[in-house]
Amino acid sequence: MDTYNNLDSYKNKCNQYLQRAANCMKPHAVLEARYWEMWRTYHTVPVRCGTLACPLCSSIRRTRIKKKIEHFLQQFPDAHMLTLTIRHGSHELGVIMEYWKRLRARFWKEGIKFKYFLVREFTRKGTEHLHILVSQRLNIVWVRKAWREITGDSFVVHIAKADEGAVRYLSKYLSKQQEYWRLTLVKRMRLYAHSRGLLLGQYCRLTDMLVKICNDKQEADRIAEEKNVESRCFHERLRQASRISVLPDNECPF
């Protein structure tokens, strides 16, 4: 399903996307970290754009996906690599994920349940392939027959035992993600996916509270310093109040 109705809206979205990539790491966010005794500190961090058009953000995303693949292989030692292809020129772009959904439904009807992690490949001719890590070995004859019934004309299916080379094999297609960022704007598609409830490593997340996002680092540093001064003054008044056992009437240290 197309995201945009006309070419002008698509061009405007591409320009906005490229502008975000050009301004990557330029805005800075002011974050608030809370500690015991109501002590708070403020610091600044650069804000990444998070787009596939940005070389920095795409490389960071690619590294995280590689780590997820490594965790998958560690979690499932009997993992296999399944490759599904469709015939060139006979299917619309993005329809392969619908075919994969139907194939998984057939597996469930047959009582075959497994975990998966897939990466999409786009060839130079515009054909899509799926490279899927599955947690167990599948019957290649049954998969090939079901895949041909679902697609109508495609039967090229390959399955093999996944080893350490699977990470390098999938990384080759992950390195092409930056070339296909325009496809993510035209079609609502993801370049990788995995089954639900699959824990592929624990990553540290920011627990600090966002205070403000500034356009440059100087403004963010100024706000953070002002907040730190206010926090130190408040904490000092709090410590002075804790030393007073009885407060006089109509008198408050705050």
Q: What is the C-alpha separation between 171 and 69, in angstroms, rounded?
A: 9
pLDDT by residue, tens only, the chain of 254 residues? 445 566 777 778 778 778 888 888 888 888 888 765 567 788 888 888 877 778 788 788 888 888 888 888 888 989 999 999 988 777 777 788 889 999 999 999 999 889 999 988 877 777 788 999 999 999 999 999 999 999 988 888 999 998 878 888 887 777 666 666 666 665 556 778 888 877 665 544 446 778 888 888 889 889 989 988 888 887 777 777 666 544 444 444 43
Portions of the chain given CATH number 3.30.70.1910: 67-194
Q: Is 4 exposed, middle or buried (0-12, 13-18, 19+ CB in 10 A)?
A: middle
In the chain, the amino acid numbered 51 is T
What fold is seen in the domain 67-194?
Alpha-Beta Plaits (3.30.70)
Q: If you search the block for the tokens 């600090």, which residue do you land on?
A: 208
Q: How many other CB atoms are there within 10 angstroms of residue 96's CB atom? A: 21
Listed in sequence order, the residues at least 6 apart from 40 whose beta carbon sits closer than 8 Å to its beta carbon are 32, 33, 34, 227, 231
pLDDT at residue 30, rounded to an integer: 86
| Residue 199: C-alpha distances to residues 30, 38, 76, 161 (Å) | 31, 34, 12, 22
Distance separating alpha carbons of residues 235 and 204, to the nearest angstrom: 29
Cβ atoms 208, 32 nearer than 8 A: yes
Burial bucket for residue 59 (CB in 10 Å: 0-12, 13-18, 19+)? middle
Those residues whose C-beta lies under 8 Å from the C-beta of residue 238, and which sit 6 or more positions away, are 37, 38
